[in-house]
Structure 1
Amino acid sequence: MEVTRTRAHEPVWMGRSDCCACPIRNRALFAQVPDAALRANGYAIDLLRMRTGGILYEEGASGEYVYALRSGFVKFVQQSGNGNSRIVRLLHAGEVAGLELLTDSTYRHTAMVLRDIDVCRIPLRLLRTLRESNREVCDEILRRLQRFVDTADYGITYLSTGTAQARLARLLLRLAQGKQTDERDWLMREDIAALLGLTLETVSRTVSEFKRQNLVVEHERYFEIDRDRLERIAPAPEAFRLGPEPVSRKSPRAAPRVCRSRAAVHAAAPPAARAVAPTPAHRPAAA
């Protein structure tokens, strides 16, 4: 995948991460690791900030880091045999990119920023150390890998087959919480096309058709949906929740709470990039 880089898209080093004070501690990869063990790990975890359009790493590149998303929105893009790119997964706060490095030396996707992100760059050596010394970390890694498989199964079964109307309806239902999508995260029509395997023209035409039928009402940064009618268009099992489930650190066996779906669909151009103050130099995001 050919990627155009600019200085505005480069990661900005924000300092060292303090996992014990993480604002999403109960959804983090190390949620079950005691504070003392985290402080004694001896590895530096960098907090990076990247703007929309930035690249965390590219498909096929070798790597020494995994990335835990604290805020924002990332898409995983994979190059197909005919030269086209497909979005194969969406990453939300609390999720981790690059876990494939535990079994391979290269990244399987290009991780592109859809919405400004704060991300923790975790040395692969630290992850391996904690996996071997902490059973909860090992179990959490397995849970997250299984979620990736579940997400892929859902995409193949429900988002890549059927009519354009059915695919779009399923996507909206999956991204929605209640009767509207979440305005904090959004997908451009181009991204919808890449995710559903449709042309941009087909997506635009289908969205317009849904609007004419009052299946959706488009606002500046989100859609209101008619859930009942969309479910009749595209019957499917309950969609998998987006993002990791919060973990109770006091009681590991406690039933997890349902995470709110975090994505929305937006057709306008991305908002103007915010200025980022210069910070100390840092190493590249991908080794």
Structure 2
Amino acid sequence: MLLPGKQALQLLEEALTPCIPFTFPPRAVLFDEGEAATHFFWLRSGVVKLVRTGPNGSPHLFTVIGRPRPVGLADLFRGTFSARAEALTPVEACRIERARVLELMQQHAFIFQALTRKLDLEFRRLEERARRLQFCPPPCRLAHTLRDLAQELGLQPDGSLLLPITREELASLADLSQRTLSEALRTLEHEGLLQKLGPRRLRLHPDRLAVWLQQQRALFFPPLTGTRSESMQ
């Protein structure tokens, strides 16, 4: 029995209910890179960042998670955590031990088959996007990053995006230097795609941003011959 990834997540969450939630203050570490992955967390509320050690040994912000979902589940099958999970805001999450996961795998094997397939596809998509965006101009790279953050964290009623990360972390997430980040922000503002409202607050124009990104995609990422091009929207 094959389940869509979203449905598998819903069934898994139901199977894990009830659970005892843990609370973490901002900057608390849920798990660290390289630790034995004997458990994972199901994020119930709050925002978590995943940080990996870069090639030069410095920390690199890999992604930001702001929706209820498992954190570290894929690493449970690899043996060690591939990143450090740190709370950006007050976080509530359930800690699920490996023994409970093994029990669920016996009772609901089809859920984990669908879920691991989804996690693997998402991981490959993120890795492929990272490789492709190396050749994307800085404004395009930043636009993708801001759009992804808006989708993950949601916009305020006035259309603004509250950034739970620092300017330095935003540069790391977009794989830009801080100087290039400033230039890219000015370019996107000049294009009418965003407005800076404060140090960590931006007003985005999603429709304009989507059109502009499609234009950039056509310029820098023509469809590959013989393969189905991956949507970067």
TM class by shorter-chain length?
0.7 to 0.9
The residue aligned with 1:223 is 202
Give matches, 1:28-67, under 5 Å: 28=10, 30-31=12-13, 33=15, 45-67=19-41
Among 187, 205, 226, which residue is 2:183 paired with? Answer: 205
5+ residue gaps, structure 2, are 1-6, 218-229
Deviation sequence 1:26-54 (CA, Å, 0-9, x none): 96562453x8xx67xxxxx4311112212
Among 101, 117, 128, which residue is 1:142 paired with? Answer: 117
Counting helix residues as a fraction of each chain, which structure ranks higher?
A: 2
224-233 vs 199-208, greater mean Cα deviation: 224-233
Structure 1 counterpart of 2:118, one-letter code? R
Are 2:44 and 2:68, in contact at CA under 8 Å, matched by a contact in 1? yes
Give matches, 1:92-171, under 5 Å: 92-138=66-112, 139-158=114-133, 160-171=134-145
What is the TM-score when the length of structure 1 is the normalising length? 0.61
Are 2:64 and 2:149, in contact at CA under 8 Å, matched by a contact in 1? no
Are 2:8 and 2:115, in contact at CA under 8 Å, matched by a contact in 1? no
Deviation sequence 1:49-81 (CA, Å, 0-9, x none): 112212111111123211110011111111122
> Cα distance, 1:176 vs. partner?
3.4
> Cα distance, 1:124 vs. partner?
1.2
What is the CA–CA distance in structure 2 between the aligned matches of 1:239 and 1:162, rounded to whole Å?
A: 12
Instruction: Give the aligned CA root-mean-square deviation in angstroms.
Output: 3.1
State the 4+ residue runs in structure 1 displaced beyond 4 angstroms: 25-29, 237-240
> Cα distance, 1:229 vs. partner?
4.4
The residue aligned with 1:10 is none
What is the CA–CA distance in structure 2 between the aligned matches of 1:84 and 1:74, rounded to whole Å?
A: 19
Count of aligned pairs between the two proteins: 206
Structure 1 counterpart of 2:41, one-letter code? Y
Distance 1:161 1:113, change over 3 A: farther
Structure 1 counterpart of 2:40, one-letter code? V
Structure 1 residue matching 2:80: 3-state secondary structure: coil
Deviation sequence 1:146-199 (CA, Å, 0-9, x none): 2233233233323x332111111222233336894544x643322221112111
Give matches, 1:204-283, under 5 Å: 204-220=182-198, 222-231=201-210, 233-235=212-214, 236=217, 238-239=231-232
Deviation sequence 1:193-217 (CA, Å, 0-9, x none): 1112111222123223433443311
The residue aligned with 2:166 is 188
What is the CA–CA distance in structure 2 between the aligned matches of 1:143 and 1:125, rounded to whole Å?
A: 22
Are 1:167 and 1:234, in contact at CA under 8 Å, matched by a contact in 2? no
5+ residue gaps, structure 1, are 1-24, 40-44, 241-287
1:81 is the counterpart of 2:55: yes
What is the CA–CA distance in structure 2 between the aligned matches of 1:176 and 1:85, rounded to whole Å?
A: 23
Identity within the alignment, %: 21
Structure 1 counterpart of 2:144, one-letter code? R
81-90 vs 116-125, greater mean Cα deviation: 81-90
